[in-house]
A and B are shown apart, each in its own frame.
Chain A
């Protein structure tokens, strides 16, 4: 018997956008409020898990052609490069700084270098979690 999950598929198509937006908000709110790269990555991977549950492994792999191993490695590289970039300014490893910049659309915005480190943590968490889940789910019965 062929199941068609119309309710689940239609609600997933709306909910994935809301969860992704919430995860990006959590990622950038982590400097002054609760949140940060780790929990943002976990929420993004929960949105991806919802896609994997609703559709199947091959369909999601076709619409999101991301190798999650390479994403985890890229996150680690971004974090390490953020730490070593402080050597260019003759300060110790992993020194962070911030400044206020007038952006065209956002106005006077605080830009911190810790956000780039958080972005590396975010990519690493997504890559590790999705590698674990997809490699468990694609074994033979």
Chain B
């Protein structure tokens, strides 16, 4: 029972971290701030899913952790490419 209390406390702290990131998404002066805050939200989401799968005694969500990692990386790279060059996929270098 004390173990579940620790896990729920960790989830609450992760929720506070996501809220702090969402403040930066809304308030951020430049678009690079918003992209980086969204990437950080993805990382906090991965940690939340890991804590949830410990809490629910299942390993059905372990693929989801890797999947969100991949999708967050590709989304951040695409946005960075768009900020840097104005085009995501170039036709010819």
Q: Which residues of A contact B (CB under 8 A)?
A: 3, 8, 15, 19, 22, 26, 29, 33-35, 39, 43, 46, 49-50, 52-59, 133, 137-138
> Are the CB atoms of A56 and B74 closer together than 8 Å?
no
- For the complex of A and B, 10 pairs with smallest distance between CB atoms: A137-B89, A56-B90, A56-B93, A58-B92, A52-B89, A57-B91, A50-B74, A34-B60, A46-B74, A56-B92
Chain B 49-87 residues near chain A, CB threshold 8 A:
60, 63-64, 66-67, 70-71, 73-74, 77-78, 81, 84-85
Q: How large is the interface on B (under 10, 10 to 19, 20 to 34, 35 or more residues)?
A: 20 to 34
> Are the CB atoms of B91 and A137 closer together than 8 Å?
yes
- Which of A26, A49, A59 is within 8 Å of B74, CB to CB? A49
**Closest Cβ–Cβ distance, residue A18 to chain B (whole Å):** 9
- Which of A22, A26, A46, A137 is within 8 Å of B88, CB to CB? A137
What are the residues of chain A within 8 A of B89 when measuring CB–CB?
Answer: 52-53, 56-57, 133, 137
